[in-house]
Amino acid sequence: MKKYFILFCFLGFSLFLEGVPTYTLKECIEFALDANVSILNARDDLEIAEAKIIQARSEVLPHIAAHGSYSRFEEDPYEKNTLDYYNVRLSANQLIYSGGEVVTALKAAKQSRVYYGYGFEGTSSEIIRDVIKQFYGVLYTRSVVEVREESLKQLNDLLDDSIERVATGTASQFDLLRAKVSVSNEKPLLITASNDYALAVASFKRTLNMDDEIFDITGSLSNYPAIKTDLTDLNGKCLQNRPEILEMESLLVLKEYDRDAAGSDWWPTISLNFNYNGANGIDYGFGGGGEWDWNWDAGVVAKWDLWNGNMTYGMVKEKNLEVRKQEQAYEDFQKTALLQVKIAYLDMNAAKKAIDSAFDGLEFAVEAQNIASKRYKIGLGTYLEFTDANLSLSTSRLTLLTVVYAYYRAIADLEYAVGVELFPK
């Protein structure tokens, strides 16, 4: 129970500013997934994929066009006849066969939607990881400021006590000088910690795309979650759920469709066409002009490039090589992803062990500082003994903060590497 009380006292800082909205980690993640620029771009990519499907589908539908023209010829100076000529045409064209190019293009367009969908999930996963790390980074830097402020307060109290002791002759000028040096040395550390906290807040707001907003976050470094899943299970989840792996697998399918589309040039293209034409007769001054004449025609058009200088062969060979490169990249990324899972998993376990050790160190430091303080106040301890205990306490608090923050960072990296949520937000 004592250990948990110490953890709450030294890690349970929740940020709260009176009069401003306060957000949890879950709410911050939701904000980022709504407003982050990378997410907005990923959504646009999904819209682009839908537009490509519309474009590809248009090739299998009839194309209908209307044409019209007007011409005015030179007037006859004697007959004064105006020679106006009008022509209109309605045409329709339907592709019948293209060597599989159109069908492949439609499949590729639909696959693009899948590809960009995984890309969107990957972007979301990356943003969630960054929000988690920066959220706890803000808590961490704020807690460091708290530790530095508390340490400076204790040193200032000791300085005031030293001034009184010198006045009563129970302490030396050397003790007073040491107290002043300790205070002076601690102030730059507090300034640096405050600056780190301000930078962490600014970076966090940038990620949320809320640079000009004033808000606070509520959270704690004390309730760190326990991940009980073993490495083998995490590896399996990674291969099945990691968005980047699924995205690269989808890209491989796109490369294969691209190769098939290039090979369609070896086959003929066949289409149907229909034209309906109308034109008025030209009045040359002999009568009969101005009457409209209508006619239609329909037919089949076939085109087959029997030889194009091995262009199609070269294109197919190039696409085959691109497919092979993508296969190699896909296999290599799987290995890289599994390595990322292992690194994050080991970092998490190492941080967990460090937390247990830091707990013990903090307990001892608290007890030592209490003893040193009491000894100094009754004149049994030296100033050096007290400042050493104070420094050890600050170091122990900072060490525990650092390893707990490292634990949260490792979990965020592990979630990202695996592609699934491992602890509730």
pLDDT in tens, 25-43: 999 999 999 988 888 898 8
Percent of the chain with pLDDT over 70: 91
Q: pLDDT band at 83, cuts 50/70/90?
A: low
pLDDT score for 15? 45
Residue 380 pLDDT greater than 90, yes or no = no
Residue 333 pLDDT greater than 70, yes or no = yes
- Collapsing DSSP to helix, strand or coil, 224 comes out as coil
* CATH 1.20.1600.10 domain position(s) in the chain: 2-59+105-262+311-418
Q: pLDDT band at 346, cuts 50/70/90?
A: very high
pLDDT score for 14? 45
CA distances from 250 to 101, 108, 116, 243 (A): 19, 10, 9, 10
Say which residue, 403 or 55, is predicted with more confidence.
403
Span of 58-72, 80-94, 127-141, 359-373 with lowest mean pLDDT: 80-94
**Residues 35 and 131: beta-carbon distance below 8 Å:** no
Task: Tell me which residue has tokens 């209908």.
Answer: 64
pLDDT in tens, 210-264: 988 888 998 888 777 788 889 999 999 999 999 999 999 999 999 999 999 888 8
Say which residue, 306 or 84, is predicted with more confidence.
306
Residue 8 pLDDT greater than 80, yes or no = no
pLDDT score for 5? 41
Residue 94 pLDDT greater than 70, yes or no = yes
Among 104-108, 290-294, 386-390, 409-413, which range has the highest average pLDDT? Answer: 409-413
Task: Tell me which residue has tokens 């066949």.
Answer: 270
pLDDT score for 422? 87
Task: From 60, 92, 90, select the one nearest 273 (Cα to Cα).
Answer: 92
User: How is the beta sheet containing 63-72 ordered, strand by strand?
Assistant: 63-72, 84-97, 269-280, 292-303
Residues 6+ apart with CB under 8 A from 207: 32, 36, 127, 130, 131, 134
Helices 2-11 + 383-418 axis angle, to 10:
80
Task: From 219, 327, 312, select the one nearest 264 (Cα to Cα).
Answer: 312
What average pLDDT does the structure give for the chain?
Answer: 85
* CATH 2.20.200 domain position(s) in the chain: 62-97+269-303
Among 110-119, 261-270, 329-338, which range has the highest average pLDDT? Answer: 329-338
- The CATH number given to 62-97+269-303 is 2.20.200
Q: How many CB atoms lie within 10 A of CB 155?
A: 24
Q: pLDDT band at 73, cuts 50/70/90?
A: low
Residue 78 pLDDT greater than 70, yes or no = no
Q: pLDDT band at 281, cuts 50/70/90?
A: low
Span of 77-81, 155-159, 163-167, 402-406 with lowest mean pLDDT: 77-81
Span of 4-8, 147-151, 250-254 with lowest mean pLDDT: 4-8
Among 75-84, 236-245, 362-371, which range has the highest average pLDDT? Answer: 236-245
pLDDT score for 283? 53
Residue 79 pLDDT greater than 90, yes or no = no
pLDDT score for 4? 43
User: Taking residues 295-321, what's their average pLDDT?
Assistant: 89
Q: If you classify domain 2-59+105-262+311-418 with CATH, what class do you get?
A: mainly alpha
- Alpha carbons 246 and 46: distance in angstroms, whole number: 16
Q: pLDDT band at 200, cuts 50/70/90?
A: very high
Residues linked to residue 70 through DSSP beta bridges, in sequence order: 86
pLDDT in tens, 156-193: 988 888 888 788 877 778 878 888 888 999 999 999 99
